[in-house]
Amino acid sequence: MDRVFDLAIVGGGINGCGIARDAAGRGNSVFLCEMNDLASGTSSWSTKLVHGGLRYLEYYDFRLVRHALIEREILWQIAPHIIRPLRFVLPHHAGLRPAWLLRLGLFLYDHIGGRNLLPPTRSVDLAHDEVGKPLIPNRYRKGFEYSDCFVDDARLVVLTARDAADRGAEIHTRSRAVEIRQVDGIWHVTVENSISGARTSIKARVLVNAGGPWVEQVLSAGSGVNARAKVRLVQGSHIVVRKLYEHDRAYMFQNADGRIIFVIPYQNDFTLIGTTDRDYDGDPAKVKATDEEIRYLCASASAYLAKPVKPEDVVWTYSGVRPLYDDGASEAKAATRDYVFELDTPGGAPLLSIYGGKITTYRRLAEEALERLAPYLRSAKAKEGWTGKSPLPGGDMDVSAVAALTAELTRSYPFLTAMHAGRLAHAYGTRATKLLGSAKSFADLGQSFGATLTESEVRYLIANEWACNAEDIVWRRSKLGLRLSADEITALDDWIEAHRAFGERSLREVGGRP
């Protein structure tokens, strides 16, 4: 292959896809490879928040909080279908952080990040306000309600990759970088497809290591770089239970150990509780929530809620490994969440490795990464800053327009239930009509797999969003795995395999890959 890409990226999480999008939008030729599915690692196992990180103020990380707060409204505006405002209730717990400290922290939170669209903090009388009703009676009387945002993290990654591809980037999933070497100042990356076993080699002037928890393994694939920075793997686990209360606010609960947990309305009928923070030593691909973590989260929530949460109430758990920069902090909860770059030029060609970072600051990380690489790229400065102004696919609407889009879908496709239309509007935004097409009835959408998932949507996800199997579809492109039975998920996998046997074209009859 004679073509030399301007930029090759290893890793299809939020950082890798964010850099791919920004670089492609500036006119660079981009190649990205991901060994599994997009967002299959850390990026799909977050607490689903676009937030400043209120607790980071305790560690005097004002820079990180300010940058994250600025990004919070930017991301909401470019992806209003998958990001929505969420109000959080923070009860005052006597004996823990004093009320004046909470009030001071929230004052800073409201003012250091240029909040323009989200409502400000307010004091709450928990004895009389509806948000106090789910709490243990007479134990928590004073609280505060503040703003942050909720995000479908895996869809944020996929839509970022989709936009990068629409701008010319080559996105290759199930493609592991098995060898990295330099020849005459050019990076040669050998990529192996995990499904077919086929190997290909590409060339690039610049290489970005966005391997997340595997950042050090990427370097060991023959790059010639010995990492100076170290990654600290921190496990964060979450539990999902049936809906705990009727109102639409989330909670931030303080624990006696100094940590906090979030209790968040999730997928209409569920409640998400998390997260834990513990150092992890093992294969990041095998991480899972432990019994100890599940009990910890249940006990932490039960210290506040009138109806205790028990391990037997848990309907789903998930766990991820955060690849934090190892700054020597004594406890995992105190380790910095900011990102760190390590730029090496062995043999003259640059290799940028990324340590740490948060979903909220991924766009800013991408901009700073390209600034660092500007001397080596042909189009590093053109259209600088464009990613904060251009919507992600389906996000070309006002931040308050998702409800109107849902109503429009039910008018245009009267066979859709309100729940079905709402799910499509929140997942695909203005692109929902691409998978609905000219359908006049539910039957026109093809086979039904349950929980409003249809053949038309499955074909769209395979053709446009790199989905390869049922797990990709029901846990990352959606969270329909919470509603589908094991037999229904198996039937979906069987359908995909049966149609794959007839060739890729049969799976892409609806929509087609742009």
pLDDT of residue 253: 97
Contact 43, 476 (CB under 8 A): no
Residue 466 burial by CB count (10 A; 0-12/13-18/19+): exposed, middle or buried? buried
- Measured CA to CA, the distance from residue 7 to residue 370 in angstroms comes to 10
Q: Is 166 helix (H, G, I), strand (E, B) or coil?
A: helix
User: What per-residue confidence (pLDDT) applies to 78?
Assistant: 98
Q: CA dist 488 to 313, 392, 416, Å?
A: 22, 31, 21
pLDDT reported for residue 379: 73
Amino acid 513: pLDDT: 37
Q: Do domains 4-42+154-230+336-388 and 232-325 have the same CATH topology?
A: no
CA distance 331 to 279: 8
- Token pair 């809620």: residue: 305
Give mean pLDDT in consecutive 10-residue pieces for the chain, a chain of 514 residues: 90 98 96 98 96 87 92 97 98 91 93 91 97 96 97 98 98 96 94 94 97 91 76 95 98 93 98 95 94 98 97 98 84 79 90 94 96 87 83 97 97 98 98 97 98 97 97 98 98 94 54 35
Nearest Cα to 236, choosing from 266, 216, 261?
261
Going from N- to C-terminal start, the domains of the chain cover 4-42+154-230+336-388, 232-325, 402-507
The pLDDT, as a whole number, for residue 503 is: 54
**Domain 232-325 CATH class label:** alpha beta
Instruction: Name the residue among 45, 39, 49 with its Cα closest to residue 288.
Output: 45
Please name the helix (run of DSSP H) or strand (run of DSSP E) that holds residue 419, with its range, or none.
helix 418-428
Which region holds residue 151: left if phi is over 0, alpha if psi is between -120 and 50, else beta? Answer: beta
Q: Which CATH class is domain 4-42+154-230+336-388?
A: alpha beta
The pair phi, psi for residue 330, each rounded to 5°, is: -70, -30
Assess whether the previous peptide bond of 275 is cis (omega < 30° from 0): yes
CA distance 325 to 356: 5
- Top-level class of domain 402-507: mainly alpha
Compute the C-alpha angle 460/463/468, nearest 5°. Answer: 100
Which pLDDT score, from 0 to 100, does residue 504 have? 57
Q: List C-alpha distances in Å: 322 to 35, 43, 116, 155, 279.
A: 18, 9, 30, 18, 9
Beta-bridge mates of residue 49: 150
Q: Where are the alpha helices (DSSP H) in 275-401?
A: 291-302, 362-373
* pLDDT at 326 (0 to 100): 85
In whole angstroms, what is the distance from residue 318 CA to residue 480 CA?
Answer: 15
State residue 73's pLDDT score: 95
User: How many Cβ atoms sit within 10 Å of the Cβ of residue 415?
Assistant: 15
How much is the pLDDT for 501?
66
**What is the model's pLDDT at position 165?**
98
Using CA atoms, how far apart are residues 88 and 100, in angstroms rounded to an integer? 18
- The whole-model pTM stands at 0.95
Could you tell me how many residues make up the chain? 514
